[in-house]
Chain A
Amino acid sequence: QVQLKESGPGLVAPSQSLSITCTVSGFSLTSYDISWIRQPPGKGLEWLGVIWTGGGTNYNSAFMSRLSISKDNSKSQVFLKMNSLQTDDTAIYYCVREGFHWYFDVWGAGTTVTVSS
């Protein structure tokens, strides 16, 4: 069964950094690209970046200076790290598999991150 599951800290203080782990099962990270997408409360979806099967990355220019995505294929894990969080970074963060026609075909349940002191 194809699954993605995010695990994150829940609460982050302003100006601190965020680390989230996405653990996948049912497929290999050497066969599919993985994107991170977030959704602020009651709002729309925002693509953050992608890590490709070969390990290369591409980021939304709005986050390029403070976002890093990496992975460990052997552990089937993808990592998101974002620095200098502010209150408007409060959102549900999803890791998402990218299918063969550049769509997002399998989504994790998401992890809620609240930025607050």
Chain B
Amino acid sequence: DVVMTQTPLSLPVSLGDQASISCRSSQSLVHSNGNTYLHWYLQKPGQSPKLLIYKVSNRFSGVPDRFSGSGSGTDFTLKISRVEAEDLGVYFCSQSTHVPTFGGGTKLEIK
């Protein structure tokens, strides 16, 4: 199985700060069709995860443009340009190029 490693585990931030989360995969996420199926989800406390970014850099419907994704191959990053209170929760990266797997999560919290 593809192992997804997220850093940091916890990310204390002040509101208005920029936040950056890293995700690395144990093997390339480039599919034979040329697409890279790396996605990001946010799970707020007591809720189900919600899709933020799909295929590395595409914002899902309704996701604010302060969220951006980048990367290629095995190294990926999620950036939040100006953290708002509603952004707090646990962020998961996930790949579906191979049998789906998830990173361990990064908890975004107030400093």
B77-111 contact mask (Cβ, 8 Å, vs A): 1 or 0: 00000000000000010101101111111000000
Bound complex: CA A105 to CA B50 (Å): 7
Count of A interface residues, CB-CB < 8 Å: 19
Bound complex: CA A97 to CA B99 (Å): 16
* A residues 51-109 in Cβ contact with B at 8 Å: 58, 60-61, 94, 99, 101-105, 107-109
The answer to whether A13 has its CB under 8 Å from any CB of chain B is no
Question: A44 to B104, Cβ gap below 8 A?
Answer: yes
* Chain B residues within an 8 Å CB radius of A58: 99
* Chain B residues within an 8 Å CB radius of A45: 49, 92, 94, 102
Question: A44 to B105, Cβ gap below 8 A?
Answer: yes
Interface size class of B (residues with CB under 8 A): 20 to 34
A43, chain B: closest CB distance, angstroms: 8
Question: B54 to A99, Cβ gap below 8 A?
Answer: yes
| Given A103-B96, A104-B41, also A94-B48 (CB < 8 A) | yes
Question: B54 to A101, Cβ gap below 8 A?
Answer: yes
Question: A109 to B48, Cβ gap below 8 A?
Answer: yes
B55 in complex: contacting residue of A44, A60, A94, A101, CB < 8 Å: A101
Question: B50 to A107, Cβ gap below 8 A?
Answer: yes
Question: B102 to A46, Cβ gap below 8 A?
Answer: yes
* Chain A residues within an 8 Å CB radius of B55: 101, 103
Bound complex: CA A46 to CA B4 (Å): 12
| Given A101-B54, A107-B49, also A44-B102 (CB < 8 A) | yes
Question: B60 to A105, Cβ gap below 8 A?
Answer: yes
Residues of A within 8 A of B (CB): 35, 44-47, 58, 60-61, 94, 99, 101-105, 107-110
The 10 A-B pairs at the shortest CB distance, nearest first, are namely A107-B48, A102-B96, A47-B100, A45-B102, A103-B54, A103-B39, A102-B37, A44-B104, A101-B54, A105-B51
